[in-house]
Structure 1
Amino acid sequence: MSLDHPSLDDETVLLVGHGSRREKSNEQVRTLASKLESHLSLPVDAAYIELAEPAIEDAIESLAPTCQSMTVVPLSLFAASHVKNDVPLAVQTARAQYDDLNFHVGSHLGIHPSIVDLLDDRARAVETDLGVDREADDVAVVLCARGSSDPDSNGDVHKLARLLYEGREFTRVESAFIGVTTPRLEETLHIVAKDRPDAIVVLPYMLGDGVLTQRIVDKTETFDEEYPYVRAGASGPLGTDSRVVDVLADRCQEARTGSVQMSCDTCKYKVELSGYEEDQGGARAMLRSLVHQAEHADRSDVDDDPHVHDAPEKHVAVCTNQTCAASGAATVLERLRQESRDADDCDVHVSRSSCLGQCGDGPIVAVYPDSIWYGGVTPDDTERIVSSHLERDRIVSDLVHQSL
């Protein structure tokens, strides 16, 4: 992986992983970046969405003076909030800061023939360990993903499972999740066991050998002990296999040629889906992303779970895009931070945001989860916002621009 760029490169690639408190997982991202660099013959650096350094913004700032074009590719299996909100938000902010730098944004790993082949190989390895052969024995497969609050992402898990089933001699291939949504892994294993297959192969659909992957392995082992008449075993994660690098290279090429296709027809941030009406809308989606980032910044270290939140009560986003910046948004941002730090009872996270689509009415200050937007905020207004709204939940009515 390229760490130092002493001369100006025409093009560079930034591979963005999720980030983990486990350095082993972060090292995997750097390993994939190094392999991708060799594959593309282009400089490739690594960055992280959270929990690890460098953050996307810091990596872009470091690389900006060294190149003329940057391709940002998320190292994510499916497109949920991080891919749809966090990465685009960081790039959009960078575009406003670096006028001379041409940005391309790639797609997530997604559903790709190379990934299906890799999963097939992982399944065969488990079959060998269990002493079964799908051509001669009844072998069922459970593809277990993390699980998401995004129906588009969860739907892709089921599609991938179906593609793994087609053309192969598995008795069945089912989808399951380790958290957030259903069906959960334990439930699916029990249902599949009722058909009494000779073996059940569990495939953790994870990139690294982290907390959630281990949880899948542990639950599979528990199931194997409880059901002696069905042999069960779990594979390892996708890891740094060369086929993952091949898919990343394809995603880079799509981005560089402007042929990236996102699943916008079923994206809850773009269209209204039943049960997800509150998520639809660009500004809402972006602000939910900011809130999520704040939750992770303030998380507690409970059971080494990377998604246990210790969130602040409120999140304040200040638009610092061009027109708001010209109206003094930077000063408003710093005054809000200072006032909230000095307050006696104010559990709040204050951060900058990119354009909130209210140009000419700023500086815009958005308070969540209250969904209150203040407009035309001056530095002198910050004390009232903190003392009334953030400390005592009393909205400053004369400053309200709109509510969502």
Structure 2
Amino acid sequence: MSQLHDTIESVDNEAVLLVGHGSRREKSNEQVRELAAMLEDRLEIPVDAAFLELAEPAIEDGIEGLAAAVDSITVVQLSLFAASHVKNDVPLAVQRARSTHEAEINNGAHLGIHPAIVDLLDDRARAVESDLGVDREEDEIAVVVCGRGSSDPDANADLHKLARLLHEGRDFSTVEASFIGITEPTLDDSLSTLAKQRPDAVVVVPYMLGDGVLTGRIREWTDDFDAEYPYVDALAGDPLGTDSRLLDVLGDRWQEARTDSVEMSCDTCKYKVDLTGYEEDTGGARAMLRALTHQETHADRSDVDDEPHTHDAPEKHVAVCTNQTCAADGAPAVLEGLRQAARDSEQCDARITRSSCLGRCGEGPIVAVYPENVWYGGVNADDTERIVSSHLDRDRIVSDLVDQTL
């Protein structure tokens, strides 16, 4: 049961920023704004919406819009699972905002595993059963919970856990987790495997927030399966949408963040521990650099709105630490010097951005060059032209400035 079913502590001068992914499909963005309005009614404090990418306002702009009017802002993430956006991009944006605003900024967790979501999935399955004219207490019904899929094993594992929780205590013959792409098993594979079990019906529940390209693909693949296997009735249901039970989850994540009780699954996070097949992802600095590159290099995909996005990355990405210590040592001048030298160069293909603390306080300003993972320390404005002309233009590391390599 949601913590909001209990008495909510009195809230003074506080606001919430609900962060969605963002889409070129405006209907998906409106869903985030609708949930923000619903959450505002529930919490009785201001709630604004912001987006990771592809829509406005960005997280930093959303925080800026609230910071002048309140003393405390809690960022609540409208993300299903904890993959790179949750673990890298949102914390990076929050840390940047903390360095420029006096308001307290709390960062909440993703939606994750929650009893309200299990109940919501159960209702989505029941709706499909009704459309098919079957009854789980009398018929053999298999359920497939289909997610988008991620390169983060932690996120993929949570979908399997959610599927198992949906199976427990309910009269389904089986409940399987499946994915539309990126990882396995794919929906096609899962449906083909279930056909061999000859259930009376297969119910496919899209585990997504909005109804877009990917949910359309899930329905298409399910319809193809239904036509290919006439002895099994199959139908795909609706995504989560703006069901009010999501407010129970969002409200709990808000309470956790503002009371310093956020819990993340760090024991199985590929950025924290060595997992077989993901060894190169371990290490917060690498994750941060990948997050910076990800934010800066989304390609324009005007042809397909919610297609899993591709990237048109520059050859190099440069991050300049502008946190308090490095800033006092001249980091702003280093940042501007690098940008000016890059503009003057005819060869340089690099994006140069500021970053939050890189953990080398007292040895900066720190300049990190990706993908080589070369960190320069003690850089001053006079060094910037050398870094551009040697490293960024000609791949020649400026050895006397190297602080460390990752």
TM-score category, normalised to shorter length: over 0.9
CA distance in 1, matches of 2:222, 2:141: 15
Alignment of 1:87-126 (within 5 A): 87-98=90-101, 100-126=102-128
Which of 140, 147, 150 is residue 149 of structure 2 equivalent to?
A: 147
Matched, 1:353 2:352: no
Letter in 1 for 2:57: P
Q: Name segments (4+ residues, structure 1) moved above 6 Å.
A: none
CA shift at 1:338, angstroms? Answer: 2.6
Matched, 1:26 2:5: no
Alignment of 1:300-311 (within 5 A): 300-301=301-302, 303-304=304-305, 305-311=307-313
Structure 2 counterpart SS, 1:97: coil
Matched, 1:232 2:226: no
Which of 60, 64, 70 is residue 61 of structure 1 equivalent to?
A: 64
Q: 2:301–2:309: 8 Å Cα contact kept in structure 1? A: no
Q: In the alignment, which residue of structure 2 is the partner of 1:192?
A: 194
Letter in 2 for 1:13: V
CA shift at 1:139, angstroms? Answer: 0.8
Which of 241, 244, 256 is residue 242 of structure 1 equivalent to?
A: 244
CA distance in 2, matches of 1:253, 1:183: 35
Alignment of 1:260-271 (within 5 A): 260-271=262-273
CA deviation digits over 1:128-177, x for unaligned, max 9? 11221111111101111111111111111000000000111111000111
Q: 2:154–2:270: 8 Å Cα contact kept in structure 1? A: yes
Matched, 1:203 2:213: no
Alignment of 1:280-299 (within 5 A): 280-296=282-298, 298-299=299-300
Structure 1 counterpart SS, 2:71: strand
CA distance in 2, matches of 1:403, 1:232: 53
CA shift at 1:205, angstroms? Answer: 0.5
CA distance in 2, matches of 1:302, 1:70: 36
CA distance in 2, matches of 1:161, 1:94: 37
Letter in 1 for 2:81: F
CA deviation digits over 1:344-402, x for unaligned, max 9? 22222211110000111111111111111111222222222222211222212122111
**Matched positions, count:** 395
What percent identity do the matched residue pairs reach?
71
Alignment of 1:355-374 (within 5 A): 355-374=357-376
CA shift at 1:96, angstroms? Answer: 2.1
Q: 1:301–1:308: 8 Å Cα contact kept in structure 2? A: no
Which of 74, 77, 89 is residue 77 of structure 2 equivalent to?
A: 74
Q: In the alignment, which residue of structure 2 is the partner of 1:4?
A: none
CA distance in 2, matches of 1:300, 1:127: 36
CA distance in 1, matches of 2:137, 2:301: 48
CA deviation digits over 1:261-306, x for unaligned, max 9? 111111111222222222222222211211221232x455454424
CA distance in 1, matches of 2:233, 2:343: 57
Q: Are the structure 2 counterparts of residues 343 and 222 from structure 1 closer, same or farther at C-alpha, using a change threshold of 3 Å?
A: farther
CA distance in 1, matches of 2:148, 2:198: 26
Name which of structure 1's ranges 307-316 and 183-192 shifts more when overlaid on structure 2.
Answer: 307-316
Q: Which 5+ residue runs of structure 2 have no aligned equivalent?
A: 1-11
Which of 311, 334, 337 is residue 336 of structure 2 equivalent to?
A: 334
Q: Which 5+ residue runs of structure 1 have no aligned equivalent?
A: 1-8
Structure 1 counterpart SS, 2:273: coil
CA distance in 1, matches of 2:95, 2:222: 42
